[in-house]
Structure 1
């Protein structure tokens, strides 16, 4: 049949041809999904993706191609491998410390695990202070910045210039104007989503000649291949002269995130930040240097990053644990599970977004059933609809296992992220206990050994407990059936990673 005749036949029978073409595409996509989706993927995640594709292949399969692989494009993976090798070489210049004699034997195993996963050693002679007041922590960080003589390194998921952060930026401008080197990194999506404050921040940094780069920029094909847009750098850290550092859960923006909806609801965020002195600051600085190279291609010299700590009067052993899609394994998840299974008496976990995978859920419920006192602090209300309802779907299993769940009272969002195990070890940082933090986000956590620091953590937990109410199994079983259905549907959707 001539081409012209064939085209005429197709146009005359367009509905039939289109129907059969869609049917063929539908079948091909379903069969392709059965081959492609389960490859190297958790069974729960694979089933969720397969369900989405089988229900609506034309939409589900393209979404899988965009969001189904929790890895960087090849060019960035190769760069990350170079970064990881560089990190291991540079971390060799930081000496290992010995744990106290009264430390439990399992803690040494955790130290070895962390060193293998993230390359950073355990270092001693550190001092760690905790700050839980939002604006006080910003003021103290600004005060530390004003003492800078050599350099200031800033890395936060969300950075915006507003009335609350104005003094922080004022401090950056002051030291930059007198010749201190200031470098700033911010997650692209985490900051640009606050458009007015983001633009004000960039104008300010440019006006003072401060070098700055967006992390994981929202340019999908920048590295020659499609990059999943929700791979983010979620770390929060500040380093001044390689001598003083800050890390934790807080972003550089007002506690209501400058959103009208939050202001109308009276929402604000509760955080926990740690101020550090001692050799651990070099580990923070090294992590910043790695992310700086990742985004700017500038290699900061060893002497700029790993320095002799001017103050070694502290008594805490600390170890930094980086994690994210650039690592082969899920470093933060492995650390948490190791600690949960090692606990003998008590686990206290604070996480705003609690959507565990099967292994973490098993670790916590097993701990509770073998007699460990397990407490979980979460918010009474949520700022992210899907995650909030997904995490609620786990409450029944946790409560039935004996886990005590404390709901931080509205209208505050408890955004702090930390864990304490027995009287032995604490973990504080940027990592949530959810699948996103395990697979998709670059995070930083710090493990701190010693009962002295544990006393400070217990004081913070007591404050949060006084601001919370305990959820009981009886109350939870009385929730409306439609709400239970919604929670379970969101749990299924949260597995699609």
Structure 2
């Protein structure tokens, strides 16, 4: 040992250099072996670039963030739930579509069912709400009318002066004996610390059972869980008879952030209020997330009740997606609809970072004569995503896609797509890689010309509040800004 300590000071630097070189080579080789496995080429190249440039940083980051997969215990739960849902779906045939709908819509219904969606249901009614306070007041009123149960699920939830009345309605319902269950995403809500604490204290005070979804406990389920896998859904279901879903979170329109308040930022949303058989499907989807966090399996008898209102004329199908599903359900649905469109596509997404297949589908539609328009915000609240999405504008504009920039200081946070006069998809899913791979989302496909008219009225409102971006204007932007957009696009591929 004494000889070693005499030798080490003279040769330690050389040994450390060789060890560092060996580790560097080993990490690069490991990256070449592990990264390309079952991964998109663009994502694989981005990860390999990060590992090759700086292996000591890039490879640990890959181990931390490189797999969009739930841990084993959660996957077992997902498989169990999927089996139960498949068994139920086999017993319930899809509702018949109106005879005047295009044949490709039947294909979309079959695709959704194959990917794990719920049955197509008929006789539903739906109303759109685009005013932030009005939707909160509407949800609170429905909760106050609850007789048996209220289920609430939001990505971001907090008790502030804007949401106080809705939380008061939840407390009143629980106090009179209604079973109230509340879920909220851990990171999406806990990051708003003051209103998050206030919400939890209020729920506890009224004896309301509540859980954070996907809690930030990396080894909670016996295996490492990627920390940015999130539950991004927004659902309210009352007595299995009335349901709300869409893009709005349960928090003030400025998200209670001082920086947003200083900039005057506020969020524009679209919510849909539903009645009819589709509400039972929403209740079942809530129950799957409740099972993940509470281990309680709510009985189908408690979740599914005969609809009191079947006067509607809309066919609706609920399409869940996320890391618990084998395929990217929302991406495949969007692409199928884009390729099927014959006259018009209107897409609204606050975060538009498509993969190669979606970009090709939109550009192909525009090149073959379909009128394609995309609504995005003039300004962004997320630096990386905002600049990454701008990198796609040139290709879209050159193909003939019309881009509408919703005027500042509003962030257009709504998420919906309309195809021809045939179908609408509305829900929580953005058109970005995160929503396709990492976030649990809920989308609703709605057929019916009457509902399409309502959607077109919403699009008209958004168009009136936007300005159109032209190719000429876009080509004049500074070269430095182009470089920044392209670099952010490259970084966004690392998923």
Common fold by TM > 0.5? yes
Matched residue SS, 1:13: helix
Structure 2 partner of 1:414: 412
SS at match of 2:236: strand
Q: CA 1:178 to 1:43, structure 2 compared with 1: closer, same or farther past 3 Å?
A: same
Look up the match of 2:126: 128
Kept in 1: contact 2:117–2:317 (CA 8 A): no
User: Which residue number in structure 1 is paired with residue 453 of structure 2?
Assistant: 455
Distance 1:7 1:320 in 2: 69
2-structure distance, mates of 1:136, 1:289: 27
> Are 1:367 and 2:361 counterparts?
no
Question: What is the deviation of 1:94?
Answer: 4.4
- Contact 1:378–1:406 at 8 Å: present in 2 too? yes
Q: 2:424 aligns with which of 423, 426, 432?
A: 426
- Out of 48, 70, 80, the residue aligned to residue 78 of structure 2 is 80
Shift of 1:90: 3.4
Residue equivalent to 1:70: 68
Distance between the aligned counterparts of 1:367 and 1:387, measured in 2?
24
CA contact (8 A) 1:83 1:294 kept: no
- In structure 2, the CA distance between the partners of 1:7 and 1:442, relative to structure 1 (3 Å rule), is farther
Q: Equivalents in 2 of 1:87, 1:7: separation in Å? A: 66
1:302-331 Cα deviation digits (max 9, x unpaired): 111121111100000000000000000000
Which residue of the partner structure matches residue 288 of structure 1?
Answer: 286
Residues 1:440 and 2:442 are matched in the alignment: no
Quick check: 1:496 aligned with 2:484?
no
Relative to structure 1, the CA distance from residue 285 to residue 94 in structure 2 (aligned partners, 3 Å threshold; closer, same or farther) is farther
Output the TM-score relative to the length of structure 1: 0.98
- Post-superposition shift, 1:9? 2.2
For 1:85 and 1:208, locate their aligned partners in 2 and report how far apart those are by CA, in whole Å. Answer: 35
1:310 aligns with 2:308: yes
Partner of 2:265: 267
Whole-angstrom distance in 2 between the partners of 1:226 and 1:319: 34
The CA distance in 2 between the partners of 1:255 and 1:212, in whole Å, is 23
Report the CA distance shift for 1:75/1:472 in structure 2 as closer, same or farther (over 3 A): same
| 1:225 Cα deviation after fit | 1.1
Cα displacement string for residues 370-415 of structure 1 (whole angstroms, at most 9, x for unaligned residues): 0000000000000000000000000000000000000000000000
Q: Which moved more, 1:3-12 or 1:479-488?
A: 3-12
Tell me, in whole angstroms, the C-alpha distance in 2 between the residues paired with 1:9 and 1:211: 65
Identify the residue that residue 102 of structure 1 maps to in structure 2: 100
* Structure 2 unmatched ranges of 5 or more: none
1:454 and 1:119 map into 2 onto residues whose CA distance is: 22
> 1:77 offset after TM fit, Å?
1.3
> Quick one: which of 184, 194, 210 aligns to 1:186?
184
Matched with 1:338 is 336
Gaps of 5+ in 1: none
Q: Give the equivalent residue in structure 1 for 2:210.
A: 212
1:379 aligned partner = 377
Q: Work out whether 1:203 is the aligned partner of 2:195.
A: no
Instruction: Report SS of the residue matched to 2:443.
Output: strand
Point out the more displaced range, 22-31 or 248-257. 22-31
The alignment partner of 1:274 has SS state of strand
Q: Residue 399 of structure 1 contacts residue 405 of structure 1 at CA under 8 Å; is this kept in 2?
A: yes
CA–CA separation in structure 2 for the residues paired with 1:296 and 1:260: 34
Count matched residues.
495
User: Post-superposition shift, 1:6?
Assistant: 2.6
In structure 2, distance between residues paired with 1:255 and 1:115? 35
CA distance in 2, matches of 1:9, 1:123: 79
What is the distance in 2 between the residues matched to 1:317 and 1:81? Answer: 28
Contact 1:423 1:454 in 2 (8 A): yes
Partner of 2:240, secondary structure, is coil
Give yes or no for contact 1:146–1:172 (8 Å, CA) kept in 2. yes
Which string of whole-angstrom CA distances, capped at 9 and with x for unpartnered residues, describes residues 80-116 of structure 1?
1112112222344545210000000000000001111
Match of 1:26 in 2: 24
How many Å separate the matches in 2 of 1:110 and 1:337?
Answer: 10
Q: Which residue of 1 aligns with 2:88?
A: 90
What secondary structure does 2:363 align onto?
helix
Deviation of 1:8 after TM superposition, in Å, equals 4.0
Q: Match for residue 235 of structure 2?
A: 237
Give the whole-Å Cα distance in 2 for the aligned partners of 1:149 and 1:94. Answer: 27
Secondary structure of the structure 1 residue equivalent to 2:345: strand
